[in-house]
């Protein structure tokens, strides 16, 4: 495969080739997405070594389950992010209490002050998403981020933020709808 043909390969093509057992395509997919997926699991786990573990497991799962990817149900990136996020949240739940205490303590400060500063490495997509989030009311953004990065249920978020459950639901719906609208522009 020449370099040119390689760049023309979409993520969907790569997943198809991985499903057929092509290791080079797994390497290519890794080169494209490992950094942002590691960023995702690191934000959930707050521990570099745990996050690296989860990243490796995620790519092995992609290797084994590429055939399960269904392009009618979403984009490859969302599928991979879902696998990585679920594994990371499972890991948080499985952590022993002592580790969880440390993890929670490390989470606390960033949760309130949502950092929407530009990370140079995140590139264009990162910039667009962060700018969109800045235009969403704080109360809605807070719910979206607690749901996505902390894996809390709506009742847990209501308890954490001391808001009525109905309010949390409304904020989650409104926040996601607004984000969708802003990203479609």
Partner 1 sequence: MTHEECRDELALAALGLLDAADASAVGDHVAGCGECSRELAALRETAAALTWVAAPAEPPSAMRERLLAAARSSSPPPGRAEVAKLRRRPRTGTFAGGLAIAAAVAGLVLVDLRLSNRLVEVESELSRVRERSDFLSSPEVATSPLAGTSSAPSARGKVVLHRDSGRTMLICSSLPQAPDGKAYQLWFVGEGHPYPGPVFRPDPRGRVVLDDRVPPESRAATRFAVTLEPARGTAAPTGETILAGGER
Nearest to 144 by CA among 105, 101, 183, 95: 183
Residues 27-46 touching partner 1, rule: CB under 8 A, are 27, 30-31, 34-40, 42-43
Structure tokens at 128: 């667009």
Residues 76-95 touching partner 1, rule: CB under 8 A, are 77-78, 81-82, 85
- Of 97, 112, 113, 162, which lies in the binding site for partner 1, with binding defined by CB under 8 A? 97
Report the alpha-carbon distance of residue 164 to residue 145 in Å, rounded: 18
Structure tokens at 47: 């521990």
- Of 98, 113, 162, 185, which lies in the binding site for partner 1, with binding defined by CB under 8 A? 98
User: Does residue 35 contact residue 121 with C-beta atoms inside 8 Å?
Assistant: yes
User: Does residue 141 contact residue 107 with C-beta atoms inside 8 Å?
Assistant: no
Whole-number minimum distance, CB 113 to partner 1, in Å? 13
User: Does residue 172 contact residue 154 with C-beta atoms inside 8 Å?
Assistant: yes
Report the alpha-carbon distance of residue 152 to residue 58 in Å, rounded: 21
Whole-number minimum distance, CB 94 to partner 1, in Å? 13
Is 47 in a helix, a strand, or coil?
coil
Nearest to 88 by CA among 38, 35, 131: 38
- # residues near partner 1 by CB under 8 A: 82
Examine residue 49 and tell whether it contacts partner 1 (CB under 8 A): yes
Residues 114-143 touching partner 1, rule: CB under 8 A, are 114, 116, 119, 121-122, 125-126, 128-130, 133
Structure tokens at 51: 């996050």
- Of 32, 53, 95, 167, which lies in the binding site for partner 1, with binding defined by CB under 8 A? 53
Examine residue 147 and tell whether it contacts partner 1 (CB under 8 A): yes
Whole-number minimum distance, CB 35 to partner 1, in Å? 4
- Of 16, 32, 57, 160, which lies in the binding site for partner 1, with binding defined by CB under 8 A? 57
Examine residue 105 and tell whether it contacts partner 1 (CB under 8 A): yes
Examine residue 14 and tell whether it contacts partner 1 (CB under 8 A): no
Whole-number minimum distance, CB 176 to partner 1, in Å? 5
Report the alpha-carbon distance of residue 66 to residue 109 in Å, rounded: 37
């Amino acid at each position: 495969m020449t370099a040119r043909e390689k760049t023309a390969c979409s993520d969907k093509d790569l997943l198809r080739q991985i499903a057929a057992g092509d290791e080079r395509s797994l390497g290519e997919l890794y080169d494209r997405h490992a950094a942002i997926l590691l960023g995702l699991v690191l934000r959930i786990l707050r521990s570099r070594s745990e996050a690296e573990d989860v990243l490796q497991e995620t790519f092995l799962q992609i290797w084994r389950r590429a055939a399960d990817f269904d392009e009618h149900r979403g984009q490859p990136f969302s599928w991979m992010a879902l696998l990585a996020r679920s594994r990371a949240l499972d890991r948080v739940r499985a952590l022993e209490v002592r580790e969880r205490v440390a993890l929670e303590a490390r989470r606390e400060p960033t949760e309130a002050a949502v950092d929407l500063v530009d990370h140079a490495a995140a590139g264009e997509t990162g910039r667009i998403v962060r700018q969109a989030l800045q235009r969403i009311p704080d109360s809605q953004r807070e719910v979206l981020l607690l749901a996505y990065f902390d894996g809390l249920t709506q009742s847990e978020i209501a308890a954490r933020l001391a808001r009525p459950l109905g309010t949390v639901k409304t904020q989650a719906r409104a926040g996601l709808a607004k984000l969708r609208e802003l990203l479609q522009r």
